[in-house]
A and B are shown apart, each in its own frame.
Chain A
């Protein structure tokens, strides 16, 4: 072990020992995503789930680390690879899975599917399948908070592919210009579908791009959940304190294909194997064990809890029912009868819970 690694391991061990319960919780959160996603893949193969589906396996440390730092009322805007974000932000696993089954019990009544999970109760704003399309919306959510003096934070996740889109630049500029409370989390998994970062960007230092908008930005090891959480905590508290937008480049890797249709011609197996050695769950589990804070019994308990949750989600989804076809055009426009038009709805997100 080189000295830098050794020092990092020692720091991690100290952090784990200072709050072992929290470390085990992060492990639990990452495992929830892992097992949920594995189940999704299985159910996709069994044709229970259709459409495009993108799983987060390998990237769990990013969502787990960032979302651990949020408070109730904070908003999340995510991408089409968002099952894990929804789950860790508090959307019920059963409602997510039922959504993918296309059932009425799904979090969007089956209108959105895998790529479009939404949840008003937890302020989870999707589920955006247009690359970079969520960034301006996140800026607007943050603008509303700033204009009304609320101390909420909006976290916006997007992939490194979004950096090539105009909306990325427009959004970073607006957020910085107006000093809005938004945290940009760039999940750099190195490939925009099949296009490697170096083949799409003239400047591959993404934090540098954000810094060019006068946004504090730094890269983070996205396979190390403790590092992610530490960086996110620093950024979120600065954003909440009114220091304007912040940007994290979370260096991660997806272990699976881009979607269920991807033959992975664009990357070498050796590269995947190399990254698999840095599996975020194995890394944390190893660190917690090394710190003497994870007994075999504790690890078994974590796994059993996760398995039970996933099984319950499957049972919930399997018991789902189809929304009547008569409801097809409902919600294209807001149900006027259910809406108070008399300007009493001070917050759209509070007013339309299902």
Chain B
């Protein structure tokens, strides 16, 4: 088959993934706040109501615990729901259902029940939305056994992760960084499902491993481009899946470069970056030529003012500084 590539946005790729899932499996439906008539808070589901109707593009009241729990129940009842939550901060209203039901039912029932639900939500900062719309809590969710945590950072992953997540018998949470929706990339017209088990090297390099995921991938790639100009050849590892972590990919890149910097928009304390750093020191301590570095968000509720918000977030400059530190060059 002749393969043609076209430019598409992350938003369009996600919409196409939802459309394909709805077409392929009549058990799939999308449910959430303003997914239908409004077209989705971030316009991801725009047009799907007209195409699939209100039963399968199901607008809900502002009841995060109610509709997330209903998604869990529908999954137990044989459906394959895609639940959309507007932002990760709102998902805390549904944390009881996610933590106490979705994550526990398989084990607590002795393996009798699976919960094949997919929960999508926006995460991250950068749009001056302040402290109740901007946090990066995917690391918290990655703490919970029973869940699978995905963070698509590319158009191809936005297009391909959803279907694979829907075929997973267990609950999968997909974190979509709000700054990525307008990013674009090339996508083949045969683009489809991708694996959700492995990390991916987005840029090979020899001098330092920059380990990241989701919304900070573009930042890290830009930093790597600039670092190359000063002779530092950085490898960029996109984790893609935060639970379970692809330990072998993390250890393999460290074994190649002997230096690692973890870039995570979450807070530093008790974070997924801390977990990755710990795993590297536990399993690859003698491969390391420098301490593991970390670039995280400042430990503040994210502020509104643009200059303060930007100062709180991982930036190209901070990634470059951390990489220089790791390779022993101090600018």
Give me the interface of A with B, judged by CB distance under 8 Å: 75, 106-112, 116, 118-120, 125-128, 130, 133, 135-145, 147-148, 166-167, 170-171, 173-174, 177, 330-336, 339, 341, 343, 345-350, 352-354
Q: Does B78 contact A (CB under 8 A)?
A: yes
Known contacts being A167-B96, A174-B70, A339-B114, is A133 close to B101, with CB within 8 Å?
A: yes
CA of A140 to CA of B109, assembled, Å: 18
Known contacts being A140-B74, A144-B77, A346-B78, is A170 close to B66, with CB within 8 Å?
A: yes
Q: Does B65 contact A (CB under 8 A)?
A: yes
Partner of A170, one of B63, B75, B116, B169: B63
Q: Does B36 contact A (CB under 8 A)?
A: no
CA of A225 to CA of B19, assembled, Å: 50
Known contacts being A118-B113, A332-B145, is A174 close to B78, with CB within 8 Å?
A: no
Contact A347 B78 (CB under 8 A): yes
Contact B110 A112 (CB under 8 A): yes
Q: Produce 1/0 per residue, B81-107, CB < 8 A to A.
A: 100000000000000110011000111
CA of A147 to CA of B106, assembled, Å: 24
Can you show 10 pairs from A to B with CB atoms below 8 A apart? A118-B105, A118-B108, A135-B69, A140-B77, A144-B73, A144-B76, A167-B65, A174-B63, A332-B145, A348-B114
CA of A334 to CA of B71, assembled, Å: 18
Contact B78 A353 (CB under 8 A): no
Known contacts being A137-B76, A140-B75, is A336 close to B60, with CB within 8 Å?
A: no
B14-30 with Cβ < 8 A to chain A: 24-25, 27, 29
Known contacts being A140-B74, A333-B146, A348-B78, is A118 close to B66, with CB within 8 Å?
A: no
Q: What number of B residues sit within 8 Å (CB to CB) of A?
A: 46
B279-302 with Cβ < 8 A to chain A: none
In the assembled complex, which residues on chain A have CB atoms less than 8 Å from the CB atom of B109? 108, 111-112, 116, 118, 120, 126, 331
Q: Does B79 contact A (CB under 8 A)?
A: yes
In the assembled complex, which residues on chain A have CB atoms less than 8 Å from the CB atom of B78? 144, 148, 345-350
CA of A235 to CA of B67, assembled, Å: 24
Looking at the assembled complex, report how far the CB atom of A77 sits from the nearest CB atom of chain B, in whole angstroms: 8
In the assembled complex, which residues on chain B have CB atoms less than 8 Å from the CB atom of A339? 114, 169
Looking at the assembled complex, report how far the CB atom of B283 sits from the nearest CB atom of chain A, in whole angstroms: 19
In the assembled complex, which residues on chain A have CB atoms less than 8 Å from the CB atom of B7? none
In the assembled complex, which residues on chain B have CB atoms less than 8 Å from the CB atom of A334? 106, 111, 114, 169-170
Looking at the assembled complex, report how far the CB atom of A215 sits from the nearest CB atom of chain B, in whole angstroms: 14
Partner of A141, one of B77, B114, B116, B148: B77
CA of A139 to CA of B71, assembled, Å: 9
Contact A139 B112 (CB under 8 A): no
Contact A140 B73 (CB under 8 A): yes
CA of A345 to CA of B75, assembled, Å: 12
Q: Does B195 contact A (CB under 8 A)?
A: no
Looking at the assembled complex, report how far the CB atom of A129 sits from the nearest CB atom of chain B, in whole angstroms: 8
In the assembled complex, which residues on chain B have CB atoms less than 8 Å from the CB atom of A173? 61, 63, 66
In the assembled complex, which residues on chain A have CB atoms less than 8 Å from the CB atom of B68? 136
CA of A139 to CA of B72, assembled, Å: 9
Contact A108 B69 (CB under 8 A): no
Contact B76 A140 (CB under 8 A): yes
Q: Does B55 contact A (CB under 8 A)?
A: yes
Give me the interface of B with A, judged by CB distance under 8 Å: 24-25, 27, 29, 55, 60-61, 63, 65-79, 81, 96-97, 100-101, 105-114, 116, 145-146, 148, 167-170
- The 8 A-B pairs with the shortest beta carbon distances in the complex, nearest first, are A140-B73, A136-B69, A144-B77, A170-B66, A109-B110, A331-B111, A118-B109, A140-B70
Contact B113 A352 (CB under 8 A): yes
CA of A332 to CA of B107, assembled, Å: 5
CA of A339 to CA of B70, assembled, Å: 23
Known contacts being A106-B110, A108-B112, A347-B78, is A332 close to B146, with CB within 8 Å?
A: yes
Known contacts being A167-B96, A333-B146, A348-B77, is A354 close to B111, with CB within 8 Å?
A: yes
Contact A137 B112 (CB under 8 A): no
In the assembled complex, which residues on chain A have CB atoms less than 8 Å from the CB atom of B167? 341, 343
Looking at the assembled complex, report how far the CB atom of A63 sits from the nearest CB atom of chain B, in whole angstroms: 20
Contact A171 B110 (CB under 8 A): no
In the assembled complex, which residues on chain A have CB atoms less than 8 Å from the CB atom of B101? 128, 130, 133, 137
In the assembled complex, which residues on chain B have CB atoms less than 8 Å from the CB atom of A177? 61
Looking at the assembled complex, report how far the CB atom of B57 sits from the nearest CB atom of chain A, in whole angstroms: 13
CA of A354 to CA of B111, assembled, Å: 7
Most chain B Cβ neighbours within 10 Å, of A108, A112, A143, A167: A143
Contact A331 B70 (CB under 8 A): no
Known contacts being A147-B29, A343-B25, A343-B167, is A139 close to B111, with CB within 8 Å?
A: no
CA of A312 to CA of B228, assembled, Å: 75
Contact A332 B106 (CB under 8 A): yes
In the assembled complex, which residues on chain A have CB atoms less than 8 Å from the CB atom of B170? 333-334
Looking at the assembled complex, report how far the CB atom of B52 sits from the nearest CB atom of chain A, in whole angstroms: 13
Looking at the assembled complex, report how far the CB atom of B223 sits from the nearest CB atom of chain A, in whole angstroms: 35
CA of A135 to CA of B70, assembled, Å: 8
In the assembled complex, which residues on chain A have CB atoms less than 8 Å from the CB atom of B114? 334, 339, 348, 352
In the assembled complex, which residues on chain B have CB atoms less than 8 Å from the CB atom of A110? 110
CA of A182 to CA of B290, assembled, Å: 60
Looking at the assembled complex, report how far the CB atom of B265 sits from the nearest CB atom of chain A, in whole angstroms: 27
